[in-house]
A = this chain, B = another copy of it.
Amino acid sequence: MKVIQKKERQHYLEEHSISHLFSFSIEEYLEVHEYQRDEWIIQEGMRPDYLYYVIEGKAKIYLTYQNGKVSLINFINAHDYIGEMELLHEVYYTKGIQASTRTVCFAIPLRPLREQLLEDAKFLRELTKFLSMKATIMAAKYSQSLSFPLENRLADFILQTADGNLYKEKHVTVCDFLGVSYRHLLHVLAQFCEKGYLQKDEKRYRIEKREQLEELAGVLKNG
């Protein structure tokens, strides 16, 4: 991890101002932290000293079970908070957060600011919205994971992460995220190719029948 200082710090503060998220002036307290790919922003089980706000990059939330099984719980993107659970709860089992690209965050030190943050209606209102979205999304994912086979969830995932018509996620990450074995993921991808929905093209997959995938993904929608 690198703490970004001086001119560069100033640059980030101006380019990605978050002062509208607080009713007091927070800029002077903000540190700018930069993490490299695969670096751990928060280590599982360790209480962080900062509340983070992601301004660039992507990260992953991991949880390890006692039997050693590791589960990829969610992705984190720009404009997400990290460490909000630890701000709110005295006792909390901290999950691991790992940068999956170079990631830059504002780090809000809790020691001097905790009480002030917890009194700030503007900040709390935004945080509440963020958390309610998170809760809703997790509830939807939970429900979907129980209700539908991989075929449907993978179709949705491909459509959501495809760059144009090119799907190029890493299999290992995807099977962690969708909670299936590597073998089974390949099996369903092969089925999609066989049915002509996808075409394998070197390392990538090209979407050939978008409507069919949309139909498969469609059943995940509610209402």
Contact = CB atoms under 8 A, between A and B. Distances in A.
B65 A221 contact: yes
A164 interface: no
Contact of A65 (B89, B135, B142, B222): B222
A132 B88 contact: yes
Interface stretch (A103-111, A122-130, A195-203): A122-130
Interface string A175-196: 0001110000000000000000
Q: How large is the interface on A (under 10, 10 to 19, 20 to 34, 35 or more residues)?
A: 35 or more
Contact of A67 (B63, B129, B138, B219): B219
B219 A63 contact: no
A125 B131 contact: no
Given A85-B136, A135-B135, A63 B143 contact: yes
A211 B138 CA distance: 31
Contact of A147 (B65, B85, B93, B136): B65
Contacts of A73: 139, 142-143
A72 to B, nearest CB: 9
A64 B220 CA distance: 10
Interface string A135-169: 11011111101110000000000000000000000
Given A125-B118, A131-B132, A66 B223 contact: yes
Contacts of A146: 71, 145, 178-180
A66 B142 contact: no
A15 B63 CA distance: 41
Given A45-B223, A65-B221, A131-B131, 15 more contacts: A44-B223, A63-B139, A65-B147, A66-B221, A71-B147, A73-B142, A74-B139, A88-B128, A89-B129, A93-B222, A119-B121, A124-B124, A124-B125, A124-B128, A138-B142
5 contacts: A63-B140, A65-B219, A89-B129, A93-B223, A134-B135
